[in-house]
Amino acid sequence: MADERAGLADSVVVFPGQGSQAPGMGRPWRGHPAWAIVDRAERVLGRPLAPYLLDPAETPANTADIQLTVFLTGMMAWTALTERLGQPKLLAGHSLGQLTALTAAGVIAPDDAIRLIALRGALTDDACRRVAGGMLAVLGLDAAAVDECCALASGRCWVANDNAPGQQVLAGTPAGLAAAGRAAVERGARKLVPLAVPGAFHSPLMATAARAFAEGLRGITFHPPRRPLVSNADAALVTGTHPWRAELAAHLVRPVRWRESQLRFTELGARSLVEVGHGTTLAGIARRTVPELRPRGVDGPMAVDVLATLLSRAAEAPPAALAVR
């Protein structure tokens, strides 16, 4: 019988960012030992967060609470997953998910991560109120063509996420996004999708938030990771000390290099990808970029059980049974 505790030995575990949330997404975890991180966050911040995770009628009114619920859901899934299946080969996170990955890897203490995410959300909320902005997904163009579209927006629009071949997300002012969107359609974009976010994340319009966040990061202690990490800023492998303080502040105004990060996973020998937290956004993106990693999602205790069964069967199957037909 295969050792379950080695089930993730060839996997990369990835954490989603803002946008993956949904009402009641924490309900599968209520009563599970992993729920302890929610109680901990409520003690650290001195305010309730559980209603946002449990009550479909309760929706966070600000970016800080949205990001906290995404972080907490990811950490609950991580705790349950690794207690059952052991540690993965690699860790990574998309946007906000990078902070979740750093916490899972032991780079940041959980209490510090909770405070940082609350601060990050409050600062980006303030930046959104100061400068009108938004985000727009562009489907069906390559990265070079999307860069050209942004250049035509005269410094009012930037690539915020390079997610997958033919899938980039822009951030900018309303006028900048409109100009870049028109240019994208003229160049043959298949679809434009405005994102339901309050501002232009990962763009220069977050500069005030980045400066204030840099101050907040000064008092944080960063440790070497217990597991290797891939940074979404440049797809670099991190196994020791790293300038996280500077990188996390700059992250607010610079793009997420997720397509390059996914390609790096395969270069480093990962053979499967597991998204932990609510939804399967990153698993879907991975199917477009690195389908050979057989992307899967874990959003509750039952999903952990299903993944454990699948990995056990794969480990016990003879090589011929795993051949692609």
- pLDDT tens-digit series, residues 230-264: 999 999 999 999 999 999 999 999 999 999 999 99
Judgement on whether residues 314 and 189 belong to the same structural domain of the protein: no
Is the pLDDT at 300 greater than 70? The verdict is: yes
Which of 104, 38, 43, 98 is CA-nearest to residue 68?
38
Q: For residue 168, what is the domain's CATH number?
A: 3.30.70.250
Closest alpha carbon to 79 in 297, 277, 284, 295:
277
93/48 same-domain check: yes
List the single range of 13-27, 135-149, 215-229 with lowest mean pLDDT.
13-27
Strands 167-172 and 157-164: antiparallel
Give the closest residue to 285 by CA, choosing from 139, 96, 73: 139
**22 lies in the same domain as 104:** yes
Buried-exposed string 109-135: b where 16+ CB fall within 10 A, e elsewhere: ebebbbbbbbbbbbbbbebbeeeebbb
Q: Work out how many domains the chain is built from and give that number.
A: 2
- The mean pLDDT value for 227-231 works out to 97
Average confidence (pLDDT) over 291-297: 94
Question: Which residues are CB-neighbours of 272 under 8 A, at least 6 positions away?
Answer: 10, 11, 12, 293, 294, 295, 296
Task: Say whether pLDDT at 156 is over 50.
Answer: yes
The token pair that represents 7 in the structure block: 């089930």
Q: What is the pLDDT of residue 208?
A: 96
> Is the pLDDT assigned to residue 2 strictly greater than 50?
no
Tell whether the model's pLDDT for residue 301 goes beyond 80: yes
Q: Which is the catalytic residue, given 202, 242, 251, 278? A: 202
What's the mean pLDDT when you consider all of the chain?
92
Q: In the annotation, is 202 catalytic?
A: yes
Q: Are residues 105 and 232 in the same domain?
A: yes
pLDDT of 21 reads 87
Going through the chain in order, the beta strands assigned E by DSSP cover 11-15, 90-93, 134-139, 157-164, 167-172, 191-194, 229-230, 237-238, 272-276, 296-298
At 1, is the pLDDT very low, low, confident or very high (cuts 50, 70, 90)? very low
- Please pick, among 11, 20, 94, 95, the residue that the annotation labels catalytic: 95
Averaged pLDDT, 70-98? 96
Cα(98)–Cα(233) distance, rounded to whole angstroms?
10
- Tell me which of 166, 194, 222 is where a domain ends: 194
Q: Minimal CA–CA distance to 95: which of 171, 166, 151?
A: 171
Residue ending a domain, choose from 143, 174, 194: 194
In a 13 Å sphere around the CA of 38, the CA atoms on its Cβ side amount to 24
Residues 217 and 153 in one domain: no
312 included as an active-site residue: no
174 φ, ψ to 5°? -55, -40
Query: Same structural domain for residues 190 and 249?
Result: no
Q: How many helical (H) and strand (E) elements, i.e. helices and strands, does the chain have?
A: 12, 10
Q: pTM higher than 0.85 for the full model?
A: yes
The residue segments making up the domain with residue 151 are 132-194
Q: Are residues 298 and 316 in the same domain?
A: yes
* Residues 137 and 111 placed together within one structural domain of the fold: no
Which residue type, as a one-letter code, is found at position 19? G
**Strand order across the 134-139 sheet:** 157-164, 167-172, 134-139, 191-194
